[in-house]
Amino acid sequence: DIQMTQSPSTLSASVGDRVTITCRASQSISSWLAWYQQKPGKAPKLLIYKSSTLESGVPSRFSGSGSGTEFTLTISSLQPDDFATYYCQQYNSHLFTFGPGTKVDIK
């Protein structure tokens, strides 16, 4: 199975900060990577797929990049609604695997 790791596990930031989260795959997954946002008690929400394609309706301050085994999610200017946990997920294999998550909280 493809293993996913994320760093950092927790990130403390302020409104307006530029935030970057890194995701790594245990083997190449080309660009088959998605990012989800999850708030407490809620279902995950798709933000980005195919490494860098923004899902419809997602604010343009979110962006993704990378290919192969290393990927990043960037929030260009953190907004109050962005405090949440972010998960990366590979879909190179039909046995989807998720990263352990990165919690973005208020500094």
Partner 1 sequence: EVQLLESGGGSVQPGGSPRLSCEASGFTFSNCAMSWVRQAPGRGLEWVSGISGSGHSTYYADSVKGRFTISRNNSKNTLYLQMNSLTVDDTAVYYCAKYQAFTIFGVVIDFWGPGTLVTVSS
Q: Give me the DSSP letters along 38-105.
A: E-TTS--EEEEETTTEEPTT--TTEEEEEETTEEEEEESS--GGG-SEEEEEE-SSSS-EE---EEEE
Q: Which is nearer to partner 1, 13 or 46 (CB)?
A: 46
CB closer to partner 1 out of 17 and 46: 46
Q: Which is nearer to partner 1, 27 or 77 (CB)?
A: 27
Q: Are 92 and 30 in contact (CB under 8 A)?
A: yes
Are 19 and 104 a contacting pair, CB within 8 Å? yes
Q: How far is the CB of 84 from partner 1 (least distance, A)?
A: 13
Binding mask 26-65 for partner 1 (x = CB under 8 A): ------x-x-x-x---xxxxx--xx----x----------
- Using CB under 8 A as the criterion, which residues of the chain lie in contact with partner 1 when the complex forms? 1, 32, 34, 36, 38, 42-46, 49-50, 55, 87, 89, 91-92, 94-101
